[in-house]
């Protein structure tokens, strides 16, 4: 990467640049669920008072605005990593449960209790060993047993670009 200094003959010399980016739950997630049987874009959900978890930069999503019947949904998002990362952390919460895979490999970042949707109980996982330079795929299979359904996540990836 080259940076030019305005009105100068010199170039800025940089050995490496810290580069952090995020992949977060939003309306760009692809979801297949009871309402979107053939798949479609996730929608923002109106979460109920029991789910108080907050993950900055992410929004609560599902396949419909207010799902109250027991159901499951598969959320997926492709993302590109330009260089080998040195850190990758997934922050996730769901009502009621979820299973996570990255590039088809189980991420050991699952929750089988609705407690993860409460503030302070969000699941935090190191997923560095699952992230590759190039195109990656995050998949989250989420399930609700009763009441409103929702998913919230953010994947933070840190790299050094030299």
pLDDT tens readout for residues 61-78: 988 766 667 788 999 999
pLDDT higher than 90, residue 54: no
Per-residue pLDDT, averaged over 131-152, amounts to 89
pLDDT at residue 124 is higher than 60: yes
Q: What is the mean pLDDT of residues 2-19?
A: 53
Model-level pTM?
A: 0.83
Domain 22-161 coded CATH 2.40.50.140: no
Q: What rounded mean pLDDT belongs to the chain?
A: 82
Share of the chain above pLDDT 90, in %: 44
Asked if omega into 96 is within 30° of 0 (cis), the reply is yes
């Amino acid at each position: 990467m080259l940076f030019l200094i305005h009105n100068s003959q010199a170039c800025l010399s940089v050995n490496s640049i810290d580069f952090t980016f995020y992949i977060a739950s939003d309306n760009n997630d692809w979801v297949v669920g009871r309402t979107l049987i053939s798949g479609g874009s996730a929608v923002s959900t109106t979460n109920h008072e029991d789910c108080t978890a907050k993950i900055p930069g992410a929004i609560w999503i599902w396949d419909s605005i207010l799902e109250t019947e027991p159901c499951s949904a598969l959320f997926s998002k492709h993302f590109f990593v330009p260089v080998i990362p040195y850190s990758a952390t997934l922050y996730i919460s769901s009502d009621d449960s979820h299973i996570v895979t990255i590039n088809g490999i189980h991420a050991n970042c699952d929750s089988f209790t609705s407690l993860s949707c409460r503030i302070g109980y969000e699941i935090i996982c190191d997923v560095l060993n699952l992230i590759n330079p190039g195109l990656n795929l995050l998949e989250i299979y989420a399930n609700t047993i009763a009441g409103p359904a929702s998913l919230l996540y953010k994947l933070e990836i840190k790299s050094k670009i030299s």
